[in-house]
A = this chain, B = another copy of it.
Amino acid sequence: MDLKNKKLTEAEFLSIRKEVLSGWVTGKDNELDLTKAVEYLKQVPDHKNFALKLNLAKQNNVTMVQPRAGVPELEEHIKLLQYLEECGADFVPSTIDSYTRQNRYNEAQKGLDESIEKHRALLNGFPVVNHGVKNCKRVFESVNVPIEARHGTPDARLLSEIIHAAGWTSNEGGGISYNIPYAKSVPLEVSIKNWQYVDRLVGYYEERGIRINREPFGPLTGTLVPPCISNTVMIIEALLAAEQGVKNITVGYGMGGNLIQDVAAIKSLYYQTVEYLDKFGYKDMEISTVFHQWMGGFPQDEAEAMALISYSSTVAALSKSTKLISKSPHESIGIPTKEANGLGVKASKFIVNMLRDQVMVDSDCLAHEIRQIRKEVDCLMNVVLEVGEGDLAVGTVLAFKQGLLDIPFAPSKYNAGMVLPARDNEGMIRILEFGNLGFDEEIKEFHKKKILERAKSEQRKVSFQMTVDDVYSVSKGKLIGRP
């Protein structure tokens, strides 16, 4: 493995860059000239800079709202973002279609052409590479808030070049979080390397005084992911990004459903990210948090979906996460119309504004859960570093290979897929089957005890059926999938 957690030299970076830009015709645009790009980015006003606006929010202790949204046609996409801005979105996204995510630019082109021809979306997002820098600048210049690219791309190098050169100052993803949940057969060392490049690009701009935000994707598979697992992934990706010169990082978490566990997860995520960055010597880091509204299966009923959106926002506001990613009442059906998407933004904004001056107060329960998550994360981080003999990138690859790190319900064959989660009797997400997960015995005992409590109260055996029931339960209006 020639992978290493080490900053690419500028020469290395620039030499890979040539190859990257040849990936599709839009890579040849002369706006991708780095001097030009730096110039363009320097003119981005502060209120349209993702990193600066996040810093301000964090300083004021308020939660910013950002939806997900992307349609194939340029003009439609612009209208969509403008509409969401009007609805109160503090940040707008551009969600990228799934062909682009797999670097299948030919298919993306077909989908784009047919979408334009039929004036009906055949792609599930904005095919950013096919659109190229020019169109992306059009998007950027059409709104008054910062833009982030949101995707799920194991190899997002060309994509990242294009969006940043176009003034988009945030990019979601990471070598683990945009591979394991989003791919089947991309080796982890490949995606980590790709994302080292993406981070190095941000580092390049950083060296030239341009602050760009990076956001590892916290929810992973969005399905019953125990906080310790996603927080560990977040910390690893933050460290990998910092090594490449990234300074402004937003670590994420997808709502689990138990209020205490969710607040504990956000709090420990923040504390521990800062702690580890510090421990590894990364200075002047700007860390914020993002809370994702419920990422699993949504209820079909739109009133129920609005309730779930509002409840998710309540948790985000009480946890004082810096950003909140909103969903729409169409979630369980399909890509939302702009109106449906706007409803989600408005409800979310209302809640975070309403709860602006309130926090989740300290309590023994909360403190206990924070301690528990911290302990579990420390345990996993140690295992990763140990197996990597001190190199975090290598450790990550080996830990996944051996199942020491393992993400539930992930499609990737580079993920062991042996961990099975289930809720405990209060609805907190615990682990039912550990596989080879790098937990010590004490932690395992704790999880077993918690799940047993539930099994007893439901008068049934601990089994995979619990996990299955929990996968469905929220969409059916219950947190815990009781028989």
Contact = CB atoms under 8 A, between A and B. Distances in A.
Contact of A303 (B306, B308, B362): B306
Interface string A303-321: 1101111110110001000
A479 to B, nearest CB: 5
A314 B257 CA distance: 12
B358 A259 contact: yes
Nearest to A261: B358
A469 B476 CA distance: 40
A254 to B, nearest CB: 16
A259 B311 CA distance: 13
Contact of A307 (B313, B365, B479): B313
Contacts of A310: 306-307, 309-311, 314, 347
A427 B365 CA distance: 24
Contacts of A314: 310-311, 314
B351 A311 contact: yes
Interface residues of A, number: 46
Contact of A257 (B311, B354, B425): B354
A355 B479 contact: yes
A307 B346 contact: yes
A259 to B, nearest CB: 6
A353 interface: yes
Contacts of A480: 357
A477 B310 CA distance: 13
A342 B308 CA distance: 16
B307 A347 contact: yes
A67 to B, nearest CB: 12
Contacts of A358: 258-260, 426-427, 479
Contacts of A313: 307
Contact of A357 (B304, B306, B425): B425
B303 A350 contact: yes
Given A314-B311, A357-B425, A427-B358, A304 B350 contact: yes
B346 A301 contact: yes
B307 A351 contact: yes
11 contacts: A258-B358, A303-B350, A307-B313, A307-B350, A309-B310, A310-B311, A310-B314, A311-B355, A356-B479, A361-B366, A363-B364
Given A307-B309, A362-B363, 12 more contacts: A259-B358, A260-B358, A304-B350, A306-B343, A309-B310, A310-B347, A353-B478, A354-B474, A357-B426, A361-B365, A361-B366, A363-B366
